[in-house]
Amino acid sequence: MSGTDVVTSPAASLPTEQAPVLVVDDLVVEFPVGHGQTVHAVSGVSFTLGAGETLGIVGESGCGKSTVGKAIMQLPSPTSGSVRLNDTELTTLKPGELRRTRTQLQMILQDPISSLNPRRKVKHLITEGPSIWGEKDKAAIERRARETLTAVGLDPDVVWERRPRELSGGQCQRVCIARALMLEPTLMICDEPVSSLDVSVQAQILNLLEDTKKRYGLSLLFVAHNMAVVKNISDRIMVMYLGKVCEISPSDGLQEQALHPYTRLLLASVPGPRTPGVEDEAHEVVGELPSPLNPPSGCRFRTRCPLATDRCAQEEPLLRPVGENHLVACHHV
């Protein structure tokens, strides 16, 4: 298939049996930094997320994966592009409408301790969301809060009167998850939710997220830089590099089916059994991540890619289908 065979609709990356909960189309996020310079954080990202699906977004630091999550939340609104939650276009909503709609979107942040108000007790952190949105039955809110804390593996009687400083990192992350669930969201965005936790606690939180998704019927957008973690929790994986999407693929069989050189580089960095040829390719990748102030022309990975040619500098590769639910942006695969 030639590089001119282009996918123009992000829905092409969604398994046909799933209804789209989230559709992101041509998302662009840029930040002016003075002296006429602009950080090109996210450049034309498109993807979909199905009901009950987990889409992992992976890439090294600075690739724009966390910025995508915040732009979906409209924190702040993207420079351009479309973000549609079910039938609602988020980028055109007025502030009051956006605030109301945003209850369907909840975000779990990387540092669980600093994301909680240190002065407030768990009972207040958990119950304030429904109270803000007009629920008057305090007894019913407390009963639901205790049930939710139990669902995320915390004993309400133990943590109810405690403040964040009296909890471990893993307990704080469970409180964050419970707080998000109290507003009964449709979509939960997890922005590196386990990167600051010990390995044993990471496994517990990942299992909790998987159980929570099934119990509450959630769709998850899971952002991380650890390919092994993303593979374990995701149904599909979207690989980003310097603000662009390199590849979208089912997580099952990714080790054998990955086509983009950058995806193969990330897989080669994961400890474990090697796929023939992948480790050798990884050793051929050289150089540092270019600056988002002045990204390379054409393919942004070309300055480090062992397959790069003159075409890569002159023509930007666009996402195209190479298999079932598998898209890649590379001229040479």
Confidence of residue 280 (pLDDT cuts 50, 70, 90): low
Report the percentage of the chain scoring pLDDT > 70: 90
Confidence of residue 12 (pLDDT cuts 50, 70, 90): very low
d(CA 284, CA 93) in angstroms, rounded, equals 47
Confidence of residue 277 (pLDDT cuts 50, 70, 90): low
Q: Write the DSSP string, 66-123.
A: HHHHHHHTTTT--SEEEEEETTEEGGG--HHHHHHHGGGEEEE-S-TTTTS-TTS-HH
Average pLDDT of the segment spanning 137-148: 92
Report the percentage of the chain scoring pLDDT > 90: 58
d(CA 13, CA 251) in angstroms, rounded, equals 13
pLDDT single digits (tens) 206-258: 888 888 898 888 999 999 988 888 888 999 999 999 999 999 999 988 888 89
Q: Write the DSSP string, 180-229.
A: HHTT--SEEEEESTTTTS-HHHHHHHHHHHHHHHHHHT-EEEEEES-HHH
d(CA 31, CA 43) in angstroms, rounded, equals 12
**What is the structure's pLDDT at 149?**
94
**What is the structure's pLDDT at 11?**
43
**What is the structure's pLDDT at 276?**
55
As a whole number, the mean pLDDT across the chain is 87
Spatial contact of 199 and 211, defined as CB atoms under 8 Å apart: no
pLDDT single digits (tens) 50-105: 999 999 999 988 899 999 999 999 988 999 999 999 989 999 999 999 999 989 99
Q: Which one of 3.40.50.970, 1.10.10.10, 3.40.50.300, 3.40.50.880 gives the CATH number of domain 1-86+230-333?
A: 3.40.50.300
d(CA 2, CA 139) in angstroms, rounded, equals 62
pTM of the full structure: 0.87
Task: Return the domain boundaries, the chain.
Answer: 1-86+230-333
pLDDT single digits (tens) 32-46: 988 889 999 999 999
Average pLDDT of the segment spanning 261-277: 76
d(CA 149, CA 146) in angstroms, rounded, equals 5
**What is the structure's pLDDT at 205?**
86
**What is the structure's pLDDT at 231?**
87
Confidence of residue 316 (pLDDT cuts 50, 70, 90): very high
